[in-house]
Amino acid sequence: MSTDLAVVTLGRAAYAETLHLQRDLARRRISGDLSRDLLLLVEHPPVVTLGRSTQPQHLATPREFLAARGIEVHEIERGGDVTFHGPGQLVGYPIYRLSEHREDLHWFLRQLEQALIETLAPFGIAGERRAGFTGVWTGGRKIASIGIHVRQWVTWHGFALNVTTDLSYFDLIVPCGIPDVVMTSMQRELDARAPRDLWTRAMEGVMLGFAEVFGQRPQLLALEELAGGSGDAGGGGDG
């Protein structure tokens, strides 16, 4: 098992484009064409995604209204319910071969939670779990959502950490299918204490959190370095 973690930052990218990329990279990880785990970090334009457990009433806003606001809707294969992605939210897609770690989906979800808890800690934000749910909360408010898909013990989809997100978007849905959930962000929790480079520091924190929890060495790569077939280079969650 390689202890290297390839990290690719995509900037702001369309959801459909990134979903296609995830599926392609997961296929290559399954085939062995890629020999190490990957973490894609991205920011999306406004989009609502519907996981396999989505209840129709949890998409609380008609699709026509969402479309009029420029918000796409995608039905996808990850576990969990409905969620929102948008500007100011750091989305991470870990493409991991669990057979090289532990063939245990619940273990992997708890590891993702812990990586995000480790990300928040240096900012003085106490991340916490909530019994019976997947994701990360702080002070009873939800700050990060998690939902994944697994095939042949290779994962894709992942987590969404609210950094500077406009939280009003969550009023358009029942986030993760949890009634009365209160969403928050790092910026809201830190308020006047939020550093100007919060986004950059949050991204660095996620990489360090993954390194700590999974015992890996993160290495930043350009997407082009994964192209060309170089080997060097199910589902769970709440939405």
Catalytic position from the list 34, 160, 161, 176 = 176
Q: What is the pLDDT of residue 100?
A: 95
- Selection from 104, 116, 173, 107 nearest residue 145 by Cα: 116
CATH topology for 4-237?
A: BirA Bifunctional Protein; domain 2 (3.30.930)
Q: Are 51 and 147 in contact (CB under 8 A)?
A: yes
Our answer to whether residue 176 is catalytic in this structure is yes
Please name the amino acid found at residue 73. V
The residue type of 138 is: T
pLDDT digits (tens, 9 = 90+) for 221-238: 999 888 544 333 356 666
**Which pTM does this prediction carry?**
0.93
H-assigned helices in 56-97: 63-68
Compute the average pLDDT of residues 153-178: 95
What is the rounded average pLDDT for all residues in the chain?
92
Q: What is the C-alpha to C-alpha distance for residues 63 and 122, in angstroms, rounded to an integer?
A: 39
How many residues does the structure list for the chain?
Answer: 239
Query: 98-146 pLDDT, tens per residue?
Result: 999 999 999 999 999 999 999 999 999 999 999 999 999 999 999 999 9
Identify the band that residue 54 occupies on the pLDDT scale cut at 50, 70 and 90. Answer: confident
Q: What angle do CA 82, 212, 235 make, to 5 degrees?
A: 30
Q: In 3D, which of 177, 151, 170 has the Cα closest to residue 77?
A: 151
CA-based torsion, 61, 66, 69, 75: positive or negative: positive
Residue 56's pLDDT band, with cuts at 50, 70 and 90, is confident
State pLDDT tens for residues 58-103: 999 999 999 999 999 999 999 888 999 999 999 999 999 999 999 9
Residue-range domain boundaries for the chain? 4-237
CB 45 within 8 A of CB 36: no
Report the pLDDT averaged over residues 186-211.
97
Residue type present at position 26? A
For residues 165-190, average pLDDT: 94
Q: What pLDDT score does 238 carry?
A: 67
Region 11-40: mean pLDDT is: 96
Q: What are phi and psi of 150, to 5 degrees?
A: -135, 135
